């Protein structure tokens, strides 16, 4: 009897979700497919694709505004794929464990970059099972644009004149548009490797 009640409640819940018209917001988005590096990703209208396949900077940027190419240092709303990595140091800012589910089946490690108020503004994703065309340094960078961006020394006893960014660390100050950050995360959630 208990099993029947559980089945009925589950069916009612599913029917309610269907009736309310909840849908996949990415259903009408465009799909970018990159056969050379074996992936695809969706993006909404109003966003653009920049794809460079030069031998020294294989980059794919999905962005709303600005002039590409962008890297993880660029302060724009973006999802950028670097199949062969990027010959530069990491992004300034505090990095923490991700507390959200990004739903990327292939992910290996995800680092969440946060502002000094602990609000997330960026992700760096590396993969466990990458296609042969990605190398071990390949990653994805996803970020929101930071309004009024400033950097302060993580060591609060030092001002920026004597701060050693690599030793002391830098905190990022500013704010992001929450609705733009949601779109960036939705774009990121559509990434998948293809054969």
Q: Determine the pLDDT at residue 5.
A: 42
- Is 3.40.1000 the CATH number for 26-193? yes
Q: Determine the pLDDT at residue 66.
A: 94
Q: Determine the pLDDT at residue 30.
A: 96
178's enclosing H/E stretch is helix 178-189
Q: Determine the pLDDT at residue 106.
A: 59
Largest CA distance in the chain: 72
Q: Give residue limits of the domains in the chain.
A: 26-193
Residue 31 has which token pair? Answer: 């799909």
User: Residue ranges of the chain with pLDDT lower than 50?
Assistant: 2-20
Q: Determine the pLDDT at residue 95.
A: 77
């Amino acid at each position: 009897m208990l099993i029947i009640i559980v089945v009925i409640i589950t069916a009612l819940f599913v029917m309610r979700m269907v009736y309310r018209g909840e849908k996949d917001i990415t259903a009408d988005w465009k799909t970018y497919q990159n056969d050379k590096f074996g992936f695809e990703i969706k993006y909404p209208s109003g966003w653009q694709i920049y794809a460079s396949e030069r031998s020294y900077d294989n980059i794919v940027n999905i962005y709303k505004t600005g002039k590409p190419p962008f890297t993880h240092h660029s302060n724009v709303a973006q999802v950028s794929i670097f199949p062969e990595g990027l010959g530069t140091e990491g992004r300034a800012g505090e990095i923490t464990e991700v507390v959200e589910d990004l739903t990327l089946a292939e992910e290996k490690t995800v680092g969440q970059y946060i502002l000094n108020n602990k609000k997330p503004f960026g992700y760096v994703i590396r993969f466990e099972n990458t296609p042969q065309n990605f190398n071990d340094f390949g990653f994805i960078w996803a970020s929101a644009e930071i309004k009024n961006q400033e950097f302060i020394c993580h060591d609060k006893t030092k001002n920026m004149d004597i701060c050693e960014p690599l030793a002391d660390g830098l905190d990022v100050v500013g704010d992001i548009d929450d609705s733009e950050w949601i779109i960036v995360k939705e774009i990121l959630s559509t990434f998948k490797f293809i054969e």
